[in-house]
């Protein structure tokens, strides 16, 4: 197996690997590596929008090891392909800040794709990615509730009064698929629903000057009804997501027989494979990836292969006859 570092960057620039100039980086660029090696990567961005950056990655048995470096995001795919994304820091002072005045000296400041709340010029908290349509409302006790839309759907946060703080057992920030106020001190949130079938949870929070406190939670279908899989590939994904969520009965409902699939170690997500498998079994034409997060800048993907047949079931029109972990080259 030949390990490959597939290096890409949010900012175009000149790429150096182990001191060797590798050309201009404007699209993902492959770099062959040894199974046990150390790669020193340097990016010199073009223009004045981003600062130069460098990082060091260690490979063992063809797999990127935890690195703990900011601005470096790696996904280790099967068969030795490591996707490496470089996110160089912005040049200080080059980004124009956009300020939105809210209430009681509170303002939202957006700069360089990030948004934060400031009170009288002092930072309060960061907001979720894509925060927009931001508004504030007063709460009892001098606190403020701030809410708006974001990449995850919607967000809300509590800003305690001066000298106050978020209580133990409460939370300051919520993100959800949707949020709805039920009176001045109750907030309902629908979370989840990103999986193939649409599993969600309806949560009710009591809102006070010391944060959000969870009162109740119950499972719901995020779209009102389940989205049962319509293809063999969707059936494999739905099965794996049901396993991840711990819905054993639903997971077994996707199988043609109770023992058609092996036990799987804990994983954090399910993702389509970005690259073809080198040794994909002919008898198992379906494939999906199990994603496990090792640290904020590193995730590993394990491939799962399967075979399905048409079936007239309650959870879609296919049943998985065999599911197996992929054996890498």
In terms of residue numbers, what domain contains 63? 4-86
Say which residues have a Cβ less than 8 Å from residue 226's Cβ, sequence separation at least 6: 197, 198, 315
The structure tokens listed for 72 are: 């470096």
Same domain, 178 and 240: no
Q: Which residue has the tokens 């794996």?
A: 240
Say which residues have a Cβ less than 8 Å from residue 163's Cβ, sequence separation at least 6: none
Question: 293 lies in a domain?
Answer: no
Question: 296 lies in a domain?
Answer: no
In angstroms, the Cα distances linking 196 to 49, 62, 190, 234, 237 are: 38, 32, 16, 7, 7
CB 149: neighbour CB atoms within 10 A?
A: 15
Pick from 49, 47, 52, 55: nearest CA to 17: 55
pLDDT in tens, the chain (329 residues): 799 999 999 889 999 999 999 999 999 999 999 999 999 999 999 987 789 999 999 999 999 999 999 999 999 999 999 999 999 988 765 557 788 888 888 899 887 778 999 988 888 899 999 999 999 999 988 899 999 999 999 999 999 988 889 999 999 999 999 999 998 899 999 999 989 999 999 999 999 999 999 999 999 998 889 999 999 999 999 999 999 999 999 999 999 998 889 999 999 999 999 999 999 999 999 999 999 999 999 999 999 999 999 998 899 999 999 999 999 87
Same domain, 176 and 271: no
Domain count, the chain: 3
Pick from 2, 13, 15: nearest CA to 55: 15
Same domain, 115 and 168: yes
Same domain, 48 and 75: yes
Q: Record the pTM.
A: 0.84
Q: Are 161 and 208 in contact (CB under 8 A)?
A: no
Q: Are 135 and 148 in contact (CB under 8 A)?
A: yes
Q: What are phi and psi of 111, to 5 degrees?
A: -155, 130
Q: Are 328 and 1 in contact (CB under 8 A)?
A: yes
Domain boundary pick from 221, 240, 257 = 221
Q: Are 162 and 205 in contact (CB under 8 A)?
A: no
Same domain, 103 and 158: yes
Same domain, 126 and 217: yes
Q: CA 202 to CA 208: how far, in whole Å?
A: 20
Same domain, 242 and 311: yes
Strands 72-76, 63-64: pairing kind = unpaired
Domain boundary pick from 173, 193, 221 = 221
Question: 123 lies in a domain?
Answer: yes
Same domain, 168 and 212: yes
Residue 328: per-residue pLDDT? 87
Q: CA 197 to CA 314: how far, in whole Å?
A: 13
Domain boundary pick from 29, 64, 86 = 86
Same domain, 28 and 129: no
Same domain, 182 and 109: yes
Same domain, 205 and 272: no
């Amino acid at each position: 197996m030949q390990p490959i570092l597939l290096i890409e960057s949010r900012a175009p620039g000149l790429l150096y690997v182990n001191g060797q100039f590798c050309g201009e980086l404007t699209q993902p660029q492959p770099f062959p590596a040894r199974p046990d090696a150390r790669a020193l990567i340097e990016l010199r961005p073009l223009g004045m929008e981003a600062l130069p950056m460098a990082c060091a990655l260690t490979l063992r048995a063809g797999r990127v090891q935890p690195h703990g470096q900011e601005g470096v995001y790696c996904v280790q795919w099967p068969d030795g392909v490591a996707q490496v994304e470089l996110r160089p820091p912005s040049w200080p002072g080059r980004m124009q800040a956009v300020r939105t005045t809210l209430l009681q000296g509170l303002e939202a400041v957006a700069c360089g794709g990030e948004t934060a709340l400031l009170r009288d010029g002092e930072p309060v908290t960061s907001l979720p990615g894509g925060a927009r349509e931001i508004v504030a409302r007063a709460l009892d006790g001098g606190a403020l509730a701030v809410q708006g839309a974001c990449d995850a759907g919607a967000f809300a946060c509590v800003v305690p009064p001066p000298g106050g703080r978020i209580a133990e057992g409460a939370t300051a920030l919520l993100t959800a698929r949707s949020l709805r106020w039920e009176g001045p001190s109750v907030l309902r949130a629908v979370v989840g629903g990103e999986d193939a079938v649409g599993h969600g949870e309806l949560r009710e929070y009591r809102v006070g000057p010391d944060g959000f406190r969870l009162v109740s939670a119950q499972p719901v279908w995020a779209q009102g009804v389940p989205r049962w899989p319509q293809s063999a590939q969707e059936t494999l994904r739905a099965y794996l997501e049901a396993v991840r969520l711990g819905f054993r009965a639903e997971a077994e409902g996707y199988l043609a027989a109770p023992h058609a699939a092996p036990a799987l170690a804990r994983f954090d997500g399910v993702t389509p494979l970005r690259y073809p498998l080198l040794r994909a079994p002919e008898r198992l034409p379906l494939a999906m990836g199990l994603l496990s997060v090792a640290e904020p800048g590193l995730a590993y993907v394990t491939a799962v292969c399967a075979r399905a047949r048409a079936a007239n079931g309650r959870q879609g029109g296919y049943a998985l006859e065999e599911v197996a972990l992929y054996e890498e080259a």
